[in-house]
Amino acid sequence: MFRYGREIRIPGIARLLEFLMASYHAYASSTVGGNTRKYHGLFVKDARLLLAGLDERVNGIQISTQQYQGATNDGGLRYLAAFSAYPPSWVYWIDDIIVKKTITFDGSLSIIYDITGDADLWVRPLITNRPVHEVLSDPAPGCTHEHGGFRWGGLFFSGDLPYEADPVTYRNVWYQRESERGYEPVEDLYSPGVFQGHVKDAVVLFRCAGEARNPPDSPRPRSPHTIPDWLDRASDAFCQRDEIVAGYPWFCESWGRDSAISVTGLLIERGRRDEARAVLNRLSGMIRDGVIPNRFPDNYHTSDASLWFIHALTRYRRSWGDDPFMDKMKPVIETILAQYPSSPVVRLDHDLISVVPGSTWMDTAFTPRAGKPVEINALWVSALAESDAMGIPVPVSPESARRAFRQFWNEEKKCLYDVIDPVDPSVRPNQVIAISLGLVSPEQSATALGTVSRALLTPYGLRSLSPSDPNYKGRYTGDSSYHNGCVWPWLTGYYSEALLQTGVPRKRAAQFLIPILSHGREAGIGYLSEIFDGDPPFLPNGCIAQAWSVAEIARAYRLLSGQA
C-alpha cells in the first residue's frame, strides 16, 4: 500500500499524484487533488468519459477540489489528513468530523463515505459524454430520473442518500495538465441532481453501475516468481482477456508491437499461460504479408512487431516447451519468415533486414532510422536461430546472418552502430537488445556496455540518445525529443540481461532498479511512467502507466533477483 500524509495538502504535490483503476475497456482515474487532465474521470468506458467526478460537501464545506478557469479551488485540500492506495482512500478531518472516502472500480464504481461524527453529506455527480481526447462545452445529456437515482450512458447512478433531480451546468472546468501540454483545458460538465442527507457515525455508499456488468474474470494463478505486490497489481491493469492495453490514459488500446514486447513480463513470466496464449493467438490472426499490425486494425507500418512476436513465442517455449499451442504457432512462424523479408516495410539485403523510414519503435519523423537498425537485425538473427532449432525452414542461414551482423561494430565509438547502410553512429540504447541476445563477443559487449552506461544510463533507465549528440534534447518537448533524449524504462530489462551477459554480479546490477522501483510512489501511483526527461531531475512524462515499462521492470526485477 502507498501512504501519504500532510504533504498532500500542498496542491503542487496532490495534483501530481495520479491513481488508476482499470477494468475491461474501462477505467477510473484522477489525482489526489482532483482532475487535471481531460482523460481523468471516475467512469471512462470505451475511451469515452461518462462520469467526470463529484462535487462533494460536508456540512456545507466543499471537500472536492476541481479547478475552474481563472479561479483556484484548493479549499478541500486543507482538510485532507491522509491518502492511501489501493484502493484510493482519502481521510478528511473537518472540525470534529472524520470522513474516510474510498473508491473501488471493477467495471462498476463504488464510493464509500465512512463518517465519524454528525454531518450533512451532499454529493453531485458531474457527467458528460465525449471522447477522452476532446473537451466539450454545454453538454446536454438525456438523463432519465428514477426513484433513488438516474440513468445515463448505460449507467445507473444511485446511493444510500436520498436523490433529488436538480439540473445545473458547471462551467469553465479547467484542466491544469492540458494547459501545460498546450491543449484546450476548459470544458463544461453537467449535473442532473444531488444526493444528500444527514449522516451520523455511519457508512454511506454511492454507486455507478452498468446495466450489464462485465463477466467476472476467471481466478488468476499466483505468479511462480515473486515481485513487489504493486508491480503484480500494475501488471493486471494492462491485461484484458486477449488484449494488452498499451498505456493509460491516452494509449488505452491494444497495439501489436507493445503487446508482443509486454506479453513476456506481464503474462509469460507470471505463469499466466492461458492469457499469454490468448494474446499471442490474437496477434497471429492479424498477420498480413508476414507483418503484424502496430495499431489495429490496419496499420501495418511496423518492421519489428513480427520479430517481437517470434521472440515472445521463444520465451513462451522456454517456459512451457513444445506444447500443443507451440505446435500451432510453428506454421505461423514459418509464414512470417517466408513473407516478412519481402513485405512492404522491409527487404532482405545480404542476409540482414533493411526497413522503411518510421517503422521501428522509434517511430517519429525525427528518428526515421531507415536502413538496417541494430535491434531489428538482432531480433532477425535470433528468430532465424530459434526457428532453425525448432526445425522450421528459414530463408537465410543463421550462421550467415550472424556473420553479417558483425558489421554493426563501431570501432571508433567502441559500441554498435544504431543503423548501418547508411551508417548512423549515434549512440543509442537499441544495441543492448543485441548484447542481451548474445550476438556480440564478450570483449565487445563489455566495451559497448561501458559506452552505453557512460552516455545513456540514468536513475530511471537509458536515454534514447547520448547528450553529446547535437540532436539531443534533455527535456520532453514533444515528438522532436521523444526518441532524442527521453529516458525509456522499458529497455531496462534488456540492459539488465546485457549486464549479466558481461559478468556483472546480480546484486550489483540490481542497484540500478532502486530509483525506478521508488517511482511507484510518484506520478501514476503504483505504476511506471512511459518516459522521463533525459536531464536531471529526470521528471516523468508521457503516460502515467505504460505496459512495457511495467513488463520490463518486472522482468528485470525477477532476472536480477535470480528468479528468471
Q: Tell me the three cell numbers of residue 443.
A: 570483449
Question: Grid coordinates in use for 492?
Answer: 531496462
Q: What is the pLDDT along the chain (564 residues), one digit of tens a residue?
A: 899 999 999 999 999 999 999 998 999 999 999 999 999 999 999 999 999 999 999 999 999 999 999 987 888 999 999 999 999 999 999 999 999 999 999 999 999 999 999 999 999 999 999 999 999 999 988 899 999 999 988 999 999 999 999 999 999 999 999 999 999 999 999 999 999 999 999 999 999 987 544 444 555 555 556 789 999 999 999 999 999 999 999 998 999 999 999 999 999 999 999 999 999 999 999 999 999 999 988 899 999 999 999 999 999 999 999 999 999 999 999 999 999 999 999 999 999 999 999 999 999 999 999 999 999 999 999 999 999 999 999 999 999 999 999 999 999 999 999 999 999 999 999 999 999 999 999 999 999 999 999 999 999 999 999 999 999 999 999 999 999 999 999 999 999 999 999 999 999 999 999 999 999 999 999 999 999 999 999 999 999 999 999 999 999 999 999 876
CB-based contact 266:561 (threshold 8 Å):
no
Quickly name the fold that domain 229-560 has: Glycosyltransferase (1.50.10)
Residues 6 or more apart from 47 whose CB is under 8 A from it?
131, 132, 133, 252, 253
Domain boundaries, the chain: 2-210, 229-560
Which CATH code for domain 2-210? 2.70.98
Alpha-carbon gap, residue 439 to 442, rounded angstroms? 9
Helix, strand, coil % (nearest 5) of the chain? Answer: 35, 30, 35
d(CA 243, CA 519): 26
Nearest-5° angle of CA 375, CA 377, CA 380? 110
Cell of 424: 548512423
Question: Do the beta carbons of residue 100 and residue 80 sit within 8 Å?
Answer: no
Buried b / exposed e over 164-183, threshold 16 CB at 10 Å, is eeeeeebeebbbbbbeeeee
3-state per-residue secondary structure call for 20-39: EEEECCEEEEEECCCCCCCC
Q: Which helix (H) or strand (E) holds 480?
A: helix 479-482
Q: Does residue 436 contact residue 497 with C-beta atoms inside 8 Å?
A: yes
